[in-house]
A and B are shown apart, each in its own frame.
Chain A
Amino acid sequence: EAQVTQNPRYLITVTGKKLTVTCSQNMNHEYMSWYRQDPGLGLRQIYYSMNVEVTDKGDVPEGYKVSRKEKRNFPLILESPSPNQTSLYFCASSLKPPGQGASYTQYFGPGTRLTVL
């Protein structure tokens, strides 16, 4: 089954304790991205990756890091989480970047709800 998986689904942590949210896709997609969803703000892109070893900042990258060492994995790293990073996080992937190709479809993971105390 084609899917994007994220782990953990729920996480409560404390300020300053490093954490990693994993994202994996099994569709051989080139493009992957991370979003955060906050009430009234919709989804905002944190980072995206065009392919292995190619990453770039989205609209709200501060406080986050990513890596893309393998095509299937795109972990999101919070080196020193703060309460303003409490949010719902989504990973997404697509064969190509948004809008490229008539068959473009972006697949989303189930989300990770993060609470930073």
Chain B
Amino acid sequence: AQSVAQPEDQVNVAEGNPLTVKCTYSVSGNPYLFWYVQYPNRGLQFLLKYITGDNLVKGSYGFEAEFNKSQTSFHLKKPSALVSDSALYFCAVKSGEGSARQLTFGSGTQLTVLP
């Protein structure tokens, strides 16, 4: 079974400060990891993914995430937060084993960037 945990329901950060949204996962085999963002009254938008290769992945809107295999984590980061980054963020994982066909999503983290 595969699972993903987002330990923080809510993250508040001041505009201009660095932000981190945490994600840990559990899968058999190598993980495929994803971050999505959901703005109010909108569907989810893809931000970035890790499949293989460099542990630091860069995505849309200046976001990046670091894959840490030993800690089974894939935290989302941004060096300088914007008020417009305020949204709901979802981490998702899929086992790299061929039989797995589904993404499992975390419960989401509400990010609020304060002006």
Q: What residues make up the interface of A, taking CB atoms closer than 8 Å to B? A: 4, 33, 35, 40-45, 48, 50, 56, 58-59, 90, 92, 97-99, 102, 104-111
A58 touches B102 (CB 8 A): yes
Q: What residues make up the interface of B, taking CB atoms closer than 8 Å to A? A: 6, 9, 32, 34, 36, 41-46, 49, 51, 90, 92, 94, 96, 100-108
Shortest Cβ gap from A66 to chain B (Å): 14
B101 touches A110 (CB 8 A): no
A99 touches B51 (CB 8 A): yes
Residues of A contacting B92 in the complex (Cβ-Cβ under 8 angstroms): 43, 98
Shortest Cβ gap from A100 to chain B (Å): 9
Residues of A contacting B36 in the complex (Cβ-Cβ under 8 angstroms): 108
21 contacts between A and B (CB under 8 A): A35-B105, A40-B107, A42-B107, A42-B108, A44-B105, A45-B104, A48-B101, A48-B102, A56-B101, A58-B102, A92-B43, A92-B44, A98-B32, A98-B103, A99-B32, A99-B94, A106-B34, A106-B46, A109-B43, A111-B41, A111-B42
